[in-house]
Structure 1
Amino acid sequence: MTAPAGSEGSVAVPLFLNGEGMRGGRVHPSIAHYTFLGEVRTAPRYRFYACEGGFPALWPVAEGGVSVPGELYALPLEAVRDEFMPVEPPELELAVIELADGSAGLAVALRPEVHARGEGLIDISDSGGWRAYQASSKRR
């Protein structure tokens, strides 16, 4: 994977987006200038939550997981640190996830203490993804 222009010497890493960072999302401008690798899915090892404040989050599980749809981008690690993570909610942390093809990528996931509290979390694992959940929420 090569880094975009202007990031010579940096190692580009795959970053999985499943919420407002995707194309059309409110924080997409922070990563829009990086290489879009395509629409992908996670391995079926995650539950997917809507969090109070209007953002989604992954949570890894040993059983009962689903494959979550999203988008994959190539970003230099420095961009993940300096541009992507600063716009993410404090309830989320960087994690290494498994994609449907068996490869690994970075993504944001719920912090363990947030999941343990459970407050403000709605399990949307069976919704078909963040965009589908938002569309169904607007129809209600």
Structure 2
Amino acid sequence: MRGGRVHPGIAEYPFLGEVRTAPRYCFHACAEGFPALWPVAEGGVSVPGELYALPLAAIRDEFVPVEAPELELAVIELADGSAGLAVVQRPEVHAWGEGLVDISDGGGWRAHQAGPGQR
């Protein structure tokens, strides 16, 4: 994310602005040190994020090859009702559950990384 370590597959592409998901997701911190969305039917939150303009070829050639194997691309719903591509947990990773910390109510990834004394 901007202001921190930007994913190498998106760093050179235009930043379009901050966005929020529709309140249909849980948000997890994975033990390996990355965030992950999980869609839910009930009890979801609106997760803050960032929107970048990536051509599909860049997603295929630069983003996906270096993404964590626990994640996969999915079409998600944004707060304004539009759609966007994002990485979400693979179903088998979510089912396994080990190493996942629910940070849905923590204010997003930046707030989680800052820790409780920094929010």
Query: Match of 1:105, SS?
Result: strand
User: Equivalences for 1:92-103 in 2 at 5 Å?
Assistant: 92-103=71-82
User: Equivalences for 1:1-140 in 2 at 5 Å?
Assistant: 22-136=1-115
Query: Match of 2:112, SS?
Result: helix
Tell me if structure 1 keeps the 8 A contact 2:37–2:88.
yes
Tell me if structure 1 keeps the 8 A contact 2:9–2:58.
no
Count of residues in Structure 1 that have an aligned counterpart in Structure 2: 118
Runs of 5+ in structure 1 lacking a partner?
Answer: 1-21
For residues 30 and 63 of structure 1, the distance between their equivalents in structure 2, rounded to whole angstroms, comes to 32
Query: What TM-score results when the alignment is normalised by the length of structure 1?
Result: 0.79
Runs of 5+ in structure 2 lacking a partner?
Answer: none
For residues 29 and 113 of structure 1, the distance between their equivalents in structure 2, rounded to whole angstroms, comes to 26
- Partner deviation per Cα, 1:54-83 (whole Å, 9 max, x = no partner): 001000001000000010011111101111
Query: What TM-score results when the alignment is normalised by the length of structure 2?
Result: 0.93
Query: Match of 2:35, SS?
Result: strand
Tell me if structure 2 keeps the 8 A contact 1:27–1:87.
no
The code of the aligned residue for 1:93 comes to E
Query: Match of 2:54, SS?
Result: strand
For residues 39 and 74 of structure 1, the distance between their equivalents in structure 2, rounded to whole angstroms, comes to 12
Query: Match of 1:23, SS?
Result: coil
Identical residues among aligned pairs (%) = 82
Tell me the C-alpha RMSD between the 2 structures. 1.4
The code of the aligned residue for 1:28 comes to H
For residues 138 and 92 of structure 1, the distance between their equivalents in structure 2, rounded to whole angstroms, comes to 29
